Structure 1
Amino acid sequence: MTNIINPILPGFHPDPSIIRVKDDYYIATSTFEWFPGVQIYHSKDLKNWELIGHPLTKKAQLSMQGNPDSGGVWAPCLSYDQGIFYLIYTDVKSHFGAFKDTHNYLVTANNIEGPWSDPVYLNSSGFDPSLYHDDDGRKWLVNMVWDHRKGKNSFGGILLQEYSETEKKLVGPIKNIFKGTSWGLTEAPHLYKKDGYYYLMTAEGGTRWKHAVTMARSAHLDGPYEVDPKNPILTSFNKEELPLQKAGHGSLVETQHGEWYIAYLCGRPLKPSWRCNLGRETAIQPCEWTEDGWLRVMGGDAELRVKAPSLPETPFEPVKVRDDFNGEISKHFNSLRLPVTEDWASLKQRPGFLRLVGRESLNSMHQQSLLARRQQAFQVQVETVVEFEPETFQQMAGLVYYYNTKNYYYLYVSHDELLGKCIGIMSNTKGIYDEPIENRVSIDGWERCYLKAELNDASLQFYFSRDGSNWSGIGPVLDASTISDENAEMVVEGYILDQGFTGAFLGICVQDLSGQKKHADFDYFEYKEL
């Protein structure tokens, strides 16, 4: 098989948790405030991956209304034991300032594609929970513990506690088994067992430029753990020449033929801004074990091109470029915080169209009528057409380039007292609202309006058309790099006031700030990588 090209999951796919079940490989990644919760990908060869679904599809499993930007699902852990799939995840309700409200849950399924169970509550002591199935049949939860006290290390170590499957709860004593290394910010624990040792893999350095994978081992599950003398085993820190930055948050898998691979988080910054508008992505790399029992990443650094395993290459059908809204809503579309329901997003009310009912503004953390998909390449073109008859400036529908409630660009159709139906652009950068064009453009009398966005690295240009063939540019070239983790972060006098962990989305949305629930009909959505 040819080499694997990284990242294997481009675009917003952070915190990979990888497993093998017989001849099938699965990766689960974080989804934060986007619904449904947790993306699961399938592969036969570690090179070609296909999105097969989301385990958290019901409000009973994941209720995020009101969750902050970059709250919600952090660092899911996927595992398998005795015919059952286990998924552990955190629902983060707050994460700014001294405190973090992090509730950890477990769901299970007999089939990776579901249905998945209702959640079992575990604890709230910290985030990045992981379930380890020991060979004696016992199950153990590890998670980092958050310490809010002034003068303490807020990343307070890795907690271990037993999980009782019969009682469906954590039982027994809680022990802090690892305080971390001098690299700091110890999180993302995963336990593995090999040749009589328990290996504890963690992420350290924070999920930005100093991110790293570190290892420790012990003859006993509860420690003490000996730190790998060559730590970190993977990092891009102080290696600005590497295309893959932020390498960290690793997860291990062994192939059918005894080959080891590490899936890990990475980012590809735009230059010269060093902003990652594709978000934190997933890469993979082969590993080997030394004679003295330590794991080493082959190549040493995060690499774009890596050796593939000795498995037959098994490609999947490419994702369709165009969605004509003739069947179900594509699994590549996501909504914000709440599931898609017929009362605001319908394929039935007007067959062949997606009808979105206007609700709250793009600043809302409660009820947005927005459907979007990840940006997964630096050069992208998206296109849609909307039929919409607004009666007030408070009614809007259109095409959005979205990071979070404080960072977005929006090409929209609305109403103006003088122009009638018109097109405008609005933007939000670090929470500051702007309108990048002086005057909206009248399209009064148009039955439908075609909308398009072209992205070229850090450049965004919007277009509109009456017939879908003759296009006019609208507004200036916009800075696409603002739709990124780096721009979302705001630090004042050492205090983090805002931060982001997601990535850029492209989609369609409708608002009706008057409360009249005016709807818009979209005939198609096209996402094309150039």
Structure 2
Amino acid sequence: MKRQFTWFIFYSFITIGLIACTQGKINLKAYEIANPVLPGDNPNPTITKIGDSYYASTTSNEWSPLFPIYKSDNLIDWKLVSYVFPGGAPDWAENNFFAPELSYDEEQQKLYVYYTSRIKSNNKLTIAVASAESPEGPFVDHGPLTFNDCETIDAFEMRDEDGNLFLIWKEVYFPGKPSVIYAQSISEDRQTVSGPKHELIRNDQEWEEAITEGPAIFRRGEYFYLLYSAGACCDKACNYKIGVARAKGLLGPWEKNPANPILKDTPYWKCPGTGDVLNEQGDYYLLYHAYETVGGDYIGREGLLAKIQWTDDDWPYLEPDENLDPTNSRINFSDKFNGALEPDWQWRATQKLSYATGDDGLMLAASTENDLLGSLLAQPVKSQDFDVTATVDLAMSGTDVQGGILLIGATNNSFGAPMAGVGISAGHDLIEVWITSANEKKIYEAVPSSDYGDLISLKMRVRNGDQLQFYVSKGKNWELIADSIDASPYVPWGMGFRWGVTSLGSQDQYVDITGVELNQVGSEQNE
């Protein structure tokens, strides 16, 4: 028998709203949802429930480990517990790892993960699938699905009114052609797509512009509902919106809501799109992504939660979210690298990473990879104002290497490579502040390393998302080395900045980084 919990609410000067959980059901009110629930770069979120726990995943783009697995007991507080591919990309896949979709088969007691990537052998985008007995892995990759030579993205699975399993997918958009979302039969082992493809919807309304994508289907009463995104998703001029269609049978005919789009820009959030719907015992929640209206370009698309409301004639709608809780993003971080590498760290999917952790800290093998940024360990930026410090032990580092900290972006604000970075690094001769873009490194400022000894502490200060200062510690004081560096030309639209550590130089040598700290401005916690 399930236990029934009653929460007692105490009042002092302020009444605190708590989540009421009765017989395992979560019933959130709008004011109880503190967004973002998944702060930082977490686009294309997907969600499922297994037992009494909720699991989510998001797009990785070009950063390994691939496809994070988050866990929550209340839909609000999420913890990173695993990755679908903790060791990096499957052998067949090149890059562009996006749009994961979690689907739990209760009969098989197996979690399937659909995802999109680019095939090495032909450079085409395709949907692939992996599976695991446990949501925390390990996952077995089953490779790409076959779709008669067309490029496919944005997978979603759904059973029709007779229990037949279908894969919902979208063909890659080409200018001048319609943007269509299809359904096609898929086998119970999720490895074979067969039979004809059935058109569900296409871009045939003015507000949708050139693209409809990101399908998420759920069922309520006599209707199937299809949430979809339309417009431009991922650059400074984004105008993404969410619409909905419904049908009494999965294969249609589908009727679009006359009130579309049902979610668009608000004062706090812009360009909402591609998400997933959770049915929590008759209450429906949408986990989707959006940018913060002010400064969101620096952070990327963050994961937001909304409770779906209903009109009298059974159309879903979403109340504009005026909530923005910055405390969700103000989580400090520190790492002495004494044990296993913290799961928050990421590296480029194409990077050959070699490192060791232990009593001496992080020994990170140097390289000239990543468009001359070197070997990188990075994390998504979660706010616009923060400080990062790191200590480099030159006595334990190679003679032909530099180690330091940086803000990672992209040349000319492009979505992917070539990469760009602004940082500070210490070598045996010089401490340098530099900007690397388009495979070219420019020294902004330099001072002799000998003035600071072998154990050199560096600081990067970020304000307003793109204004940088760099310091070196001398005794108890921080000496300003470079002031007012503008990183705005290097914001990677659609992905947000990342901060991290670098090891640049000869590939047979290592940089010793004895510790890293990130402190968010305005934070009172340190995790």
Category of TM-score, reference length = shorter chain: 0.7 to 0.9
User: What's the RMSD between the two structures over aligned residues?
Assistant: 2.8
In the alignment, structure 1 residue 73 sits paired with structure 2 residue 80: no
Closer/same/farther in 2, CA of residues 305 and 157 from structure 1, 3 Å limit: same
Q: 2:420 aligns with which of 397, 407, 410?
A: 407
Q: What's 2:270 paired with?
A: 245
The residue number in structure 1 matching 2:314 is 293
Query: 1:406 Cα shift?
Result: 3.2
Q: How does 1:221-240 map to 2 (within 5 A)?
A: 221-236=250-265
Instruction: Name the residue aligned to 2:473.
Output: 465
* Structure-2 separation of matches of 1:390 and 1:166: 51
> Helix, strand or coil: the match of 2:154?
coil
Of 419, 422, 429 in structure 1, the residue corresponding to residue 430 of structure 2 is: 422
How do 1:116-515 residues align onto structure 2 when only pairs under 5 Å count?
Answer: 116-123=139-146, 125-134=151-160, 136-148=162-174, 151-153=176-178, 156-166=179-189, 168-182=191-205, 183-184=208-209, 185-208=211-234, 209-236=238-265, 242-256=267-281, 258-270=282-294, 276-297=297-318, 299=319, 301-304=320-323, 321-338=333-350, 344-347=354-357, 351-363=359-371, 369-388=375-394, 389=397, 391-392=399-400, 395-404=401-410, 405-414=418-427, 421-428=429-436, 431=438, 433=440, 435=442, 437=444, 439-444=445-450, 446-458=453-465, 459-467=467-475, 469-486=476-493, 501-512=494-505, 515=506
In 1, are the aligned partners of 2:459 and 2:472 still within 8 Å (CA)?
yes
- TM-superposition CA deviations, 1:68-107 (whole Å, max 9, x none): xxxx21111112121221111001369xxxx982121111
1:88-136, Cα deviation, whole Å (9 max, x unpaired): 1001369xxxx98212111111211111112332145221112224565
1:138 maps to a residue whose letter is: N
Cα shift readout 1:256-282 (whole Å, capped 9, x = no counterpart): 4x32221111111446xxx61001111
* 8 Å CA contact retained: 2:289, 2:301: yes
Q: Which residue of 2 aligns with 1:18?
A: 47
Alpha-carbon distance change, 526 to 167 in structure 1, aligned in 2, over 3 angstroms: closer
How many angstroms does 1:235 deviate by? 0.8
> Alpha-carbon deviation of 1:255?
2.1
Q: What CA distance in whole angstroms lies between the structure 2 residues aligned with 1:159 and 1:522? A: 50
* Greater relative CO, 1 or 2 (CA 8 Å, sep 6+): 1
The residue identity in structure 2 corresponding to 1:472 is E
- Per-residue Cα deviation, 1:165-214 (whole angstroms, up to 9, x for no partner): 34821122222221134213101012212212222111111214311111
Does the CA contact (< 8 Å) of 1:453 and 1:463 recur in 2? yes
Per-residue deviation, 1:326: 1.1
Q: 1:125 to 1:175 in 2, by over 3 A?
A: farther
SS at match of 1:11: coil
Question: Which amino acid in structure 2 is aligned with residue 202 of structure 1?
Answer: Y
Rounded to whole Å, the distance in 2 between the matches of 1:456 and 1:505 is: 14
**Do the aligned residues in 2 keep the contact of 1:125 with 1:145 (CA within 8 Å)?**
yes
Alpha-carbon distance in structure 2 between the residues aligned to 1:132 and 1:48: 27
Aligned-residue identity in percent: 25
Shift in Å, 1:376:
0.9
**1:107 maps to which residue?**
130
Aligned to 1:498: none
Q: Is the alpha carbon distance of 1:516 and 1:262 closer, same or farther for their aligned partners in structure 2, counting shifts above 3 Å?
A: closer
2:515 to 501, 504, 524: 524
Give the paired residue count: 467
Q: Quick check: 2:406–2:421 contact (8 Å CA) kept in 1?
A: yes
User: Retained in 2: the 8 A contact 1:57–1:339?
Assistant: no
Quick one: distance in 2 between partners of 1:60 and 1:379?
A: 32
SS at match of 1:115: coil
TM-fit CA distance, 1:302:
3.2
- For residue 247 of structure 1, give the secondary structure of its aligned residue in structure 2: strand
- Per-residue CA deviation, residues 416-460 of structure 1 (Å, 9 max, x unaligned), is xxxxx111122145x3846362x4110137212111111222322
Query: TM-score scaled by structure 2?
Result: 0.82
3-state DSSP of counterpart to 1:55: strand
Distance 1:50 1:161, change over 3 A: same
| Kept in 2: contact 1:345–1:369 (CA 8 A) | no
Describe the SS at the equivalent of 1:444: helix
Distance 2:140 2:58 in 1: 19
Secondary structure at the residue paired with 1:234? coil
| Partners of 1:164 and 1:305 in 2: CA distance | 42
- Unaligned stretches of 5+ in structure 1? 307-315, 416-420, 487-500
SS in 2 for 1:471: strand
| 1:181/1:477 CA distance change after superposition, 3 Å | same
Pairwise CA distance, 1:414: 3.2
Counterpart Cα distance in 2 of 1:62 and 1:15: 24
SS in structure 1 at match of 2:66: coil
User: Structure 2 unaligned runs (5+)?
Assistant: 1-16, 19-31, 411-417, 522-527
Alpha-carbon displacement from aligned partner over 1:31-87 (angstroms, at most 9, x marks no partner): 10000111222222222111112111234636666x4xxxx2111111212122111
Distance 1:270 1:396 in 2: 35
Taking the aligned partners of 1:161 and 1:81, their CA distance within structure 2 comes to 18
Measure, in 1, the Cα distance between the counterparts of 2:55 and 2:501. 30
Give the AA of the match of 1:413.
A
CA distance, structure 2, for counterparts of residue 276 and residue 225 of structure 1: 35
Distance in 2 between residues matched to 1:364 and 1:231, nearest whole Å: 46
CA deviations 1:280-316 (Å, max 9, x no partner) are 111111112223221111x2x233169xxxxxxxxx9
Query: Distance in 2 between the 1:321 and 1:354 partners?
Result: 16
Rate the CA distance shift 1:302–1:329 in 2: closer, same or farther, 3 A: same
1:340 CA displacement: 7.3
- Following the alignment from structure 1 to structure 2, what is the Cα–Cα distance between the partners of residues 135 and 449? 65
